[in-house]
Amino acid sequence: QPPRTCEDYRWEWRHCRGLRHAFHHYYAHGELPACGRWREDYEACRAWESGRAAAAQEALCNSERARVTEKQKYAPVWTLRKSPPPDWYLPLDQDKPT
């Protein structure tokens, strides 16, 4: 069984090709999105479901692994606290004029 349903890959591919997503991606990153990976994953998923193709299974698993490692390579923006600040129980200074 594939890691995701084939309809998930199809939806991601169609979403990636959409005008709104392309515009947002171009605005944020300065280039058009590369949607070929989603199409290849969709086709590999269909081949895996229909014929149990080992090559399609390997390609899809490698693509998912690459997607996960790509997502994990960016560090979080905020550093997580181990404990609350020492003065967390004091009232806020919202009512005081500055």
pLDDT digits (tens, 9 = 90+) for 25-44: 999 999 999 999 999 999 99
Q: Is 82 helix (H, G, I), strand (E, B) or coil?
A: coil
Torsion of CA 43, 44, 46, 47, to 10 degrees: 120
pTM for this predicted structure: 0.69
**Mean of the per-residue pLDDT values of the chain:** 88
In the chain, where are the structural domains located?
A: 6-70
